[in-house]
Homo-oligomer: A and B are copies of this chain.
Amino acid sequence: MANRVNTKHEAWAKVIKAIAHPSRLFIIEELDKGEQCVNDLTAMIGSDASTVSKHLSVLKNAGLVMVEKRGNSIFYSLRVPCIMQFIGCVEDVLSSNAKEHMEILKCCKK
Contacts and interface: CB of A to CB of B under 8 A. Distances in A.
Interface of A: 1-5, 9-13, 15-17, 19-23, 25-26, 29, 43-47, 62-64, 79-80, 82-83, 85-94, 96-97, 100
State the oligomeric state as a number of copies.
2
A19 B62 CA distance: 16
B93 A62 contact: yes
A10 B29 CA distance: 13
B13 A20 contact: yes
Nearest to A25: B9
Contact of A46 (B4, B20, B45, B92): B4
Contact of A16 (B16, B26, B82): B16
B1 A25 contact: no
Given A26-B9, A90-B16, A2 B83 contact: no
